[in-house]
Structure 1
Amino acid sequence: MKNTRLHFAALCTLWLGLLLLSVRGYAQDTQPEDKSKRPSPPAVVAAKTPAATISIDYSRPSVRGRKIFGELVPLGQVWRTGANEATMFTVDKNVKIEGKPLPAGKYSLFTIPGQDEWTIIFNKVPVQWGAFKYDEKQDALRVNVKPQVTPKLTEQMTFTIDKSGKVSILWENTQVDFMVSAAK
C-alpha cells in the first residue's frame, strides 16, 4: 500500500510538472518590444501651435544609398509615410489642414507620393500596421500639396512642426509641407 501511494504521488508530481511546462510554452511573452532597436527607429515630434497641439508618432527609415521616391516608395500608391506601424497624427482641437476641416482626434497619416503632387491622407483608423489594411472609406480628409526638391539629402525620414503650424515631411531630397490652422 505504501508503494502504491509513493507511485501515485510520483505520478501526480510528474503530471503536474509536465502540465506546468506545457502551459508555460503556450504563454505569450509579456515583455513589450524595444522599438528603438528596429532598423527604422521610432520618433515623436510635437508642438503647440496657434491652432492646436500637434503630435506625430512615426518610424524613421533611412536612405542607405537607395533611390527612395519612385523606387522603394512607388509613386501613385498609398504609403504609410514612414516604416513599421502607420504614422499617427494627433490634434487636440478642431483644425483646418490646407483650409479643409479636420476634427480633433487621432488619425493614421498616409500619403500618395507623386512627381508633381502629393496627397496627404488622414484616416480614422489610428492604429494600423503599415498600409496593408488601409481602407479609403475610413478617410477623414485628403488634401493635395506640391513636393519640393531639396539640395540637402535627409538620410532619415523626418517630420517637423514649426510654430506657425507648418508640418514638413523630409526624406532623401524631397520636402512636403502642409499647413495646420485654426478651425475658426
Structure 2
Amino acid sequence: MKNKRIFPVMMLLMACLLMSTTVWAQTAKPKASPATTATGKIGDATVTINYSSPSVKGRTIWGDLVPYNKVWRAGANEATTLTVDKDVMVEGKALPAGTYSVYAIPTEKDWTMIFNKTAKQWGTNYDEKQDALRVTVKPRKAAALNESLKYDVTGQGIVLKWENMEIPVAITAKK
C-alpha cells in the first residue's frame, strides 16, 4: 500500500521542482547596463546609435569611473556604434556613410570623439590604427542629473548625456 503512494508523491515533487526552476529562470534580473538605440534624421541622413546604458548609482563618473585623458568606450559592454546611411560632416570633417564604433578621450576642458572603422567588437578592444575620424568637442553642464547614459539624435547632431555632463557633437548632411 505504501509503495503505491510513493510514486504519485515523487511525481508531484518532480513537477513542483520543474515549475519552480522555470519561474526562477523567467524572473532573472535586468542587465545593469541595458542595450538601447537612439535614431533620428540629420538633414536627409538617418543616424542610429546602438549602445549599452550604464547608471550613475551614486558614483562619481567623470575623472573617476571614466578617467580623464584615457580612451573610453562611450558606453558599456559592446562598443557603442554610430551608423549613418549617407556621407556626413562631423564637426566640419567628412565621415563616409557606414557603421563606426564610438570612443572618447574626455578631459575637463574638451573631449576627443573617435569614430573607429571596427564596429563589431567588445568596447575595450580599441585600436587607434582603425580610426576613421577624430574630432574635438566641448562638454557642457547638464540642466539636470542623467542617471543613465543616454544618446540623443537632434537636427544638429548627437548629444551624449550622463551624470551632470552633456557632450554635443555637431553633424550635418554632406553637400
TM-score bracket, normalised by the shorter chain, equals 0.7 to 0.9
Q: Distance in 2 between matches of 1:51 and 1:181?
A: 9
- In structure 2, what is the equivalent of residue 58 of structure 1? 51
CA contact (8 A) 1:43 1:57 kept: yes
**TM-score normalised by structure 2 residue count:** 0.81
- In structure 2, what is the equivalent of residue 88 of structure 1? 81
- In structure 2, what is the equivalent of residue 45 of structure 1? 38
Mean CA deviation greater in 46-55 or 74-83: 46-55
Mind listing any 5+ residue stretches in structure 2 that lack a counterpart?
Answer: 1-28
Question: 1:7-156 to 2 correspondence within 5 Å?
Answer: 37-131=30-124, 133-156=125-148
CA contact (8 A) 1:161 1:167 kept: yes
- In structure 1, what is the equivalent of residue 164 of structure 2? 173
- In structure 2, what is the equivalent of residue 161 of structure 1? 153
Give 1:51 deviation, angstroms: 4.3
Letter in 1 for 2:158: V
**Number of aligned pairs?**
147
- In structure 2, what is the equivalent of residue 27 of structure 1? none
- Which structure has the greater CA radius of gyration? 1
Q: Distance in 1 between matches of 2:141 and 2:159?
A: 13
The alpha-carbon distance between structure 1 residues 113 and 51, as it changes in their structure 2 partners (threshold 3 A), is farther
Question: Percent identity of the aligned residues?
Answer: 49
Mind listing any 5+ residue stretches in structure 1 that lack a counterpart?
Answer: 1-35
After the TM superposition, list the runs of 4 or more consecutive aligned residues in structure 1 that deviate by more than 2 angstroms: none
**TM-score normalised by structure 1 residue count:** 0.77
CA contact (8 A) 1:40 1:83 kept: yes
Letter in 2 for 1:137: K
Q: Distance in 1 between matches of 2:131 and 2:112?
A: 12
Mean CA deviation greater in 143-152 or 59-68: 143-152
Mean CA deviation greater in 145-154 or 107-116: 145-154
After superposition, give the CA deviation of every residue in 1:114-133 in whole Å (9 maximum; x if it has no partner). 100001000000011112x2
Q: CA RMSD in A?
A: 1.2
